[in-house]
Amino acid sequence: MKIGILTSGGDCPGINATIRGVSKTAIQHFGMEVYGIHSGFQGLLEKDVERFTEKSMSGLLHLGGTVLGTSREKPFKKKKGSDEEDKPALIAQNVNELGLDCLVCIGGNGTQKTAYKLSAMGLNVVSVPKTIDNDVWGTDYSFGFDSAVTIATEAIDRLHSTASSHNRVMVIEVMGHKAGWIALFSGMAGGGDVILLPEFNYDMGHVCDTILERARKGKPYSIVVVAEGIKTDGGGHAGEYIARTIEQQTGIESRETVLGYVQRGGSPTPFDRNLSTRMGGHATELIVNGEYGRMVTLKGSNISSIPLAEVSGKLNLVTPDHDLVVQGKRMGICFG
């Protein structure tokens, strides 16, 4: 068999480990030919591919980013009034001309949607979820999430010392447009006093009362962790808005830190390296068994898969009954 691998969307720790997991399993165990497709779906449109060997996999396990490169190309999204070529048809044609028996698509929600549409066209597709936001539906965790949480937690740990030294409120903005998983997990692990998530409404009066109450109890500094996607009444970063409003309403000096892309860079954690390896290997098993149109998932401690049709258009969001939210509230942490 001959398979192609592409990575699409934002970069993320663990992509290279997944490429390695797929390729080494396919080449060494199943005797397949493996081709890396450069720049996501753009590479499929241009037939920009390279053949992988065992040597190609050296050094990938701990390497951040993606050796294949990535793009935000969405072949099914056509601009109004555009006379662009039929990209999905061109992809199908190129897959056929390259002689690929299956495509392995590694990416987030947009990639899963495209993978499903290609599958519905009749192409053999298997996908692996990739997102630091952990918002792909159908899997408990995606690789990249643990790495991002680890980076964010370390930053929060470091900000505790400067907050206590200056009796300030430190506001840390982490990634998460629609899903607050990074804010929840890093906020809880880092000892946040206030954690604001896009899924939950918040009241700035309540947030400020929480901070003032802490000061009255002899706790002159507070740590506030916010996801970038929370709703704000003002412009600019969410963290900047929250810090400015807290200082205005409480009189306590407040500063914001925006972690930004640092959460997506660098080496994956051991957990993510192992998750990537397992998911990559399972993707290859699906191909061998002819189980196409499926996304690899982690459920509990087991690696399995679900139909792409179930994933497309859905999001994995934090709910009020999540045990970390429930336990946090019991411990007096403010969620807005």
Q: So which residues are the catalytic ones?
A: 133
Maximum CA extent, the chain: 71
Instruction: State the DSSP H helix or E strand holding residue 38, giving kind and residue range, or none if neither.
Output: none
C-beta of residue 273 within 8 angstroms of C-beta of residue 14 = yes
Taking CA atoms, 170 is separated from 35, 195, 198, 219, 256, in Å, by: 47, 12, 19, 13, 6
Rounded CA separation 108/130 (Å) = 5
C-beta of residue 92 within 8 angstroms of C-beta of residue 60 = no
CB-CB neighbours of 43 under 10 Å? 24
Residues in the chain: 336
Taking CA atoms, 228 is separated from 29, 143, 179, in Å, by: 43, 20, 10
Strands 33-37 and 294-299 come out as unpaired
The secondary structure of residue 124, as a DSSP letter, is -
